[in-house]
């Protein structure tokens, strides 16, 4: 086995390490948040209206979209964690 770092990093899933305690829509989000002059990038993702509560913190869900396929992720402690399933949304407009 080689000690060199992998060319392709492993994928981390949020539900493997953390528990989602609540979900809500952010009706006041800025859809242009995070947009560069070139548009959204695959490394930064596009912000969605979903916000997940994980470990007492509210985290924005971002989407990486390529053609007609997309993946949802959150940023937690500087790491990307992909989201397998977003639970039903709490209908509050806060």
pLDDT of residue 87: 81
Sheet holding 57-66, edge to edge: 20-25, 46-54, 57-66, 69-76, 79-82
Taking only the tens of pLDDT, the chain with its 94 residues reads 455 666 666 788 898 889 888 999 887 877 666 666 666 666 678 888 899 999 899 999 988 877 788 889 999 888 889 999 888 765 544 4
pLDDT of residue 26: 84
User: Which stretches does DSSP call E strand in 1-94?
Assistant: 20-25, 46-54, 57-66, 69-76, 79-82
Phi, psi of 17 (to 5 degrees): -115, -25
Domain map of the chain by residue range?
A: 14-29+40-82
Q: What residues contact 45, with CB distance under 8 A and at least 6 apart?
A: 34, 62, 63, 64, 73
Percent of the chain that is helix, strand, coil (3-state, to 5): 5, 45, 50
């Amino acid at each position: 086995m080689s000690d060199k770092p992998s060319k392709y990093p492993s994928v981390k899933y949020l539900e493997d390490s953390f528990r989602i305690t609540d979900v809500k829509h952010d009706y006041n989000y800025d859809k242009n948040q995070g947009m560069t002059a070139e548009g959204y990038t695959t490394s930064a993702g596009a912000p969605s209206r979903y916000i997940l509560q994980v470990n007492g913190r509210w985290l924005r869900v971002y989407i990486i979209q390529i053609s007609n396929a997309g993946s949802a992720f959150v940023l937690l402690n500087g790491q990307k964690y992909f989201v397998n399933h977003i639970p039903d949304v709490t209908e509050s407009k806060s």
